[in-house]
Amino acid sequence: MSVGWDDDEVVAGWPGLPPLSGDVVADACVVGLGASGLAAVEALADRGVAVVGVDAGRVAAGAAGRNGGFLIAGPALFLHDAIAAWGAEPALQLYRATLAELRGLADVLGPAVMRQVGSIRLAGLPGAPTSDAEAAQRVAELADCAALADALREHDIAVESYAGPLGEGLFLPDDAAVNPAVRAVELARRLAGRARLHEQTRVLDVRAGLVRTDRGVLRANAVIVAVDGRLDVLLPQLRGRVRTARLQMLSTAPLAEARLPCPVYSRHGYDYAQQRPDGRLFVGGGRDLFAADEWSADAEPTGQVQRWIEAVAARMAGEATGALPAVEHRWAASVGFTLDARPLCTMVDDGVVAVGGYNGTGNLVGPVAARAAVALALDGAAPPAWATS
C-alpha cells in the first residue's frame, strides 16, 4: 500500500518528530496527531497548558493523511437530513462551526495549500447512466439536491445550481480542497515549538491521569483521545457507540485534460474525486456497496472496492480522455461511525475525553469536535448539542 498524497515534497521532506523516550508528566496529553488531535494540541497550547501529543506512526498516519482532501462544510448528514434528524439548532450550529473552521484554516495554510474552489455535489456519476436503476437513482438524487439547496438557502448558506460537463447537481462555493497530508504536516510544524509532540509512539492503555505507551508512561490530568478510526479498539468501553469502517482510495497519473474544477462527490457522497493542479485524479468510494466487508479495523485496500473506484475514476475522467490513466497508488484507512451520525465527544474516565466518530467526514468536523473536547476536559463544559456525549 502506498499513499498518493505522500508524493508531495512537503510530506516526503517531513523530518519527523522524535519518539517519546521515557516517562513524562504534563498538564494534558493528546493521543493521535491527525487534524483533530493537532487542533486539540493547539487549543491546549493556546490556553498555556503544558501538552504532550503522541501518534503511533507519522503525523496524520491515519485517515487525516489518507483522505479525499475535501474540506466540505457541514455535518456528515446533508443539512436538510441533519435538521430532520437532530433539529435545526444543532445542525446549523455545527454547519456554522465548520464554516468558521474553513476560514481559519485558509488563513493558516494559504491559497497554495488550501484551494478555495468550492465543491460540486453531483446527482449520479458523470456520463450517461448505464442502467435503468442508475437513471432512477439519478432522478432521486437530483430531487434530494433540490431539498438540500432549499435548506441551505433558507439559512443563508451559499449554494448554486450546477449544470455542466459533469452532469447536474449543486455547487457549494464555500468549500475547498487540500492535500490532507500536507495540511497535517504544516499544522504539526507550526505546533512543534509550542508542545511536545512525538511520532512512532503507540498508546497501549488510557485511564484517568495515565497514558501507557510502548515508549514510556505519560501522566496528565487531562487526556484527549483524538483517534477517529479504531477508537473502539483503543477504548473498548465505547464499543456499540462508535464503530470502525474502512474507506479506500486510489490516485492516477495525470490526465491530459482538466476535468474536475473542484472536489466532486456523487451517490450521496459515497463516491468522490478531486483532480490536483498537476492533473492527477484522487478518487475514493464504494464503501456502501461492500458494507459487510468494510466494517473492518483492517486498513489495507481490497480488490473489489478498488475495482469499483477504478470505474468511478473512469467516469470522472470522462470519455474524452480515453482509458483510465495508470493507477499509481492505492490505499485505505480507518474511520469511526456513530449510530446517529453525530460526532462523539464524551468523558470516558476522570479527565479523559474521547472524540471521534465523524462518519467519514472529519476534516472540518474533527477539529471542531476536538476543541469541544478540550473545553470538556479542562472546564467541564457540556459537549455541544450536535455531539453524542
**Residues in the site for ligand FAD, rule: CB under 6 A?**
31-37, 54-57, 60-64, 66-70, 202-203, 226-230, 234, 247-249, 284, 333, 335, 356, 358, 360-363, 366
Residue closer to ligand FAD (CB basis): 124 or 336: 336
CB of 9 to ligand FAD, least distance (A): 21
CB of 286 to ligand FAD, least distance (A): 10
CB of 317 to ligand FAD, least distance (A): 19
CB of 5 to ligand FAD, least distance (A): 10
Do residues 280 and 4 make contact, with C-beta atoms less than 8 angstroms apart?
A: yes
CA dihedral 244, 313, 13, 106 (to 10 degrees): -80
Residue 367 burial (C-beta neighbours within 10 Å; 0-12, 13-18, 19+): buried
Residue closer to ligand FAD (CB basis): 70 or 386: 70
CB of 63 to ligand FAD, least distance (A): 3
Residue closer to ligand FAD (CB basis): 61 or 159: 61
Per DSSP bridges, beta strands 222-225 and 28-31 are parallel
Read off the C-alpha cell for 179.
492535500
Read off the C-alpha cell for 335.
474511520
Residue closer to ligand FAD (CB basis): 261 or 362: 362
CB of 205 to ligand FAD, least distance (A): 9
Do residues 7 and 181 make contact, with C-beta atoms less than 8 angstroms apart?
A: no
Residue closer to ligand FAD (CB basis): 31 or 152: 31
Query: Which of these, 59, 80, 102, 234, lies nearest to 149 by C-alpha position?
Result: 80
Residue closer to ligand FAD (CB basis): 33 or 125: 33
Cα 307 → chain centroid: 23
Question: Which residues neighbour 67 within 8 Å (Cβ) at sequence distance 6 or greater?
Answer: 180, 247, 249, 284, 333, 363
Residue closer to ligand FAD (CB basis): 248 or 306: 248
Residue closer to ligand FAD (CB basis): 133 or 169: 169
CB of 229 to ligand FAD, least distance (A): 5
The one-letter amino acid code at 283 reads: V
Q: How far is CA 73 from CA 28, 169, 228, 332, 369, in A?
A: 29, 17, 18, 23, 14
CB of 47 to ligand FAD, least distance (A): 20
Q: DSSP letters of 104-152? A: HHHHHH-TTTEE---EEEESS-SSS-SSHHHHHHHHHHHHHHHHHHHHH
